[in-house]
Amino acid sequence: MPTSRDVAKLAGVSQSTVSYVLSGKRPISEETRRRVEGAIAELTFQPNAGARALASQRTQVIGLVAPFGVTSDHSGLLPFIETIARRVREHDHDLLLVTNDEGAQGLVRVAGRRIVDALVVMEVEARDERIPVAAGLDVPVILIGVPDDPAGLPCVDLDFEAGGAMAVAELAESGCRTVAVLGYSAAEIDRGINYVTRFHEGVEREAARRGLPLTTLSPVELDRASIDAALDEVLSAEDEDGELPGLVLPHTEGVAGVLRALADRGLVPGEHLNVVAMSTDAAAEEFTTPLTNVSLEPRDVSRRAVDTLFRLLDPDRSAADGDVPGVELVHPRLTRRASTPARPASGAALPHTA
C-alpha cells in the first residue's frame, strides 16, 4: 500500500509538502500542488483518516440530522441528502446520519464525542427543543428550516411565503376567478413546522392583493376519504359560470392522491380546473398531465447550507467573504406546464360530479 513518503518521492517534494497539500494548512504553489496530486492519483494513495484527524484535530465528518419518522416523506428527503452528501465529499469530508428521533440528545452525543466537525439539522420546527442545545455546542451548526428563534444559528430554507404567492399569481394569470388550497396534514401543522405558516401567509397575501376569493381547507390528510371530503367541498364552489376554483396543492406527498381523486371524477387538470403544486420538478413531470409547480429547490437549498457550513469551519474564508447570513431564503422557481394553460379553458364541458 503506497504511503505519503512514496507520494513525496514520486512528486519530488518533501513529505511535509504532501501533508500541506492534503490538509490545506499552508499555501502551496499551483505547480507543486499539481505534481503532488498527480502522484497521488498515479499511486492511488488514500490518506489515513485517523492520522489526518489526529494531525488536524478534525474528524473530516459532517453530521446530518434528518427526519426518518413514520410521517416523513422519504422520497422528498432524497434530493436534500444526495446533494448534501455529494457536496460534503467535494470538501473531502464524510457524512454521518443522525435520525431526528434522538432529539437534542443526539446532537449532544455526536458533538460531545467529537465524532463530527459540524452539524446540518433538517426539518426544523418553529419552537424546536434542539435549537438552544445546538446553539451551545462547540461545533458549527446550520439549520435547514427557520425556527421562531434561531438563537444565532445560520438558517437556509426555501422562501415558502414567496412560493405561496407565486402559486396564487399563476392561477390568477391563467384566468382563475377563485382559489382553493388543500392544506398540509395535521401532523405537519401540530409539529409547528415553520414553512407551513409562511406558505399560507404568502397565499393569503397574494389572494388579497388580487382580490381573489380564497378557500383554505386545513388540515387535509393523505388518506382517500380525507382527500375526497376536501374535494367535495371545493368542487361544490363553482361560480355563476360553472367554473371551478384553481387548486393549490402544497403537500407534496399528497399530490398523487388528489390527482387520482380528480381523475375518478372525470376532471383533468388544465382542462376542467387549473392546478399548481409545491413539488420537485421531477415529481411534477411524472403525472399523466404534467403539473405546473413551484419548485422546492432541494438541491439549491442543500448546496447553500453546506457551503455556508464550510465557511463556518474556515474562519479565514468566512472573514474574507464577509459575515455568514443569519437567515438565507432561496427564491422558488415556477415552471408552467399543462395544468395551467396560458389562457383560461373557458367553455370546457364539465363532467357530472354528483
**CB proximity list for 41: less than 8 A, separation 6 or greater:** none
- Rounded to whole angstroms, the Cα distance separating 228 from 9 reads 72
As given in the structure block, the three cell numbers for residue 33 are: 500542488
Asked whether the domain spanning 160-296 has the same topology as the one spanning 61-153+298-331, the reply is yes
Residue 70: pLDDT band by 50, 70, 90 thresholds?
very low
Q: What is the pLDDT of residues 226-241, one digit of tens each?
A: 999 999 999 987 666 7
Cα dihedral: 303, 304, 309, 314 (round 10) = 100
3-class secondary structure, 104: helix
Class of domain 61-153+298-331: alpha beta
The CATH code belonging to domain 160-296 is 3.40.50.2300
CB-CB contact of 247 with 217 (8 Å): no
Q: What pLDDT, on the 0 to 100 scale, is given for residue 42?
A: 83
Domain boundaries, the chain: 1-36, 61-153+298-331, 160-296
pLDDT in tens, 7-23: 888 989 887 788 777 76
**What is the C-alpha separation between 254 and 151, in angstroms, rounded?**
33
The pLDDT, as a whole number, for residue 238 is 65
- pTM (predicted TM-score): 0.77
CA angle 332-337-340, nearest 5°?
95
Calculate what percentage of the chain has a pLDDT beyond 90: 53
